[in-house]
Amino acid sequence: MEIVFLGAHNCETKTTRPSCLMLSGGVVLDAGAITSSLTLEELYNLKAVILSHAHYDHIKDVPLLAMNLAYGLKSVDIYGSEAVQEVVTKPPFSGGFYPDFFTRPPSAPALRFHEITPGLEFSCENYQILPLSVPHSRDTTGFLVKDAGGHSFFYTSDTGAGLGDVWKQISPELLIIELTMPNKLTELALSSKHLSPALLETELRLLREIKGYLPRIVTIHTTPLFEAEIKTEIQAVAERLHTDIDMASEGLKLRLGE
């Protein structure tokens, strides 16, 4: 399984894009950087987009993807919770400031929605995916993704503190976890349900206590303005935990099973 970080931040600039992971086989997790990162040929080869929640930076490229597909009478499957469905299939997001691509073109709608439920595993292409509720906005789900060879990773999407129930249900080789704010904004991270290095350290200590190990750790959803500060702080966390913690950047490629 190959994982490509199309987007590794929470804001878009010339060099940074919002959260978006592309898996081998044409499956994408979150839609923060699909159309800004892929060629038309690559867009036409996509099979599915799986959305963690309905905040704009995670769904923003769905209409633009659909417009590209509609002209070629191509379709892609969209997976998300009921809360995500309420946003992406209705005005203004769909049928408001852009056409409703869940019904257009009539002969082959560009988008097909599939509702997912936290705790219920589903199949998508060659993957088994278990959505698990994480502490963020309404019905935000992280995803445990397993390939046919049994290799797995967990993507938290956006999350705040309090992941103990999630840790009990997973044993991944790789953990892709959000890290949004520096320690000086820990109170803001708590109130907005995000993580700072201090909060992440607590969650990782809990994971090791529950599971007896730490997987490979890669962080995502970093605020560009504070990236250097966060990098220094998370390096200190890694040293205290005697483990490696890598911060993702756009274009990073990881392989599981090699």
**Predicted pLDDT at 137:** 86
DSSP state of 222: B
Average pLDDT, the chain: 97
**Predicted pLDDT at 102:** 96
pLDDT digits (tens, 9 = 90+) for 106-142: 989 999 999 999 999 999 999 999 999 999 988 899 9
pLDDT digits (tens, 9 = 90+) for 40-54: 999 999 999 999 999
**Cα–Cα distance between 216 and 174 in angstroms, integer?**
5
**Predicted pLDDT at 138:** 80
Residue type, 113: F
Percent residues over pLDDT 70 in the chain: 100
pLDDT digits (tens, 9 = 90+) for 206-220: 999 999 999 999 999
**Predicted pLDDT at 27:** 99
Distances (CA, A) of 109 to 104, 124, 167: 5, 19, 38
Q: Is the pLDDT of residue 258 over 80?
A: no
pTM equals 0.97
Domains of the chain (ranges; CATH) run 2-255 (3.60.15.10)
pLDDT digits (tens, 9 = 90+) for 156-204: 999 999 999 999 999 999 999 999 999 999 999 999 999 999 999 999 9
DSSP state of 69: H
**Predicted pLDDT at 253:** 98
DSSP run (H or E) holding 9: none
Q: Is the pLDDT of residue 75 over 90?
A: yes
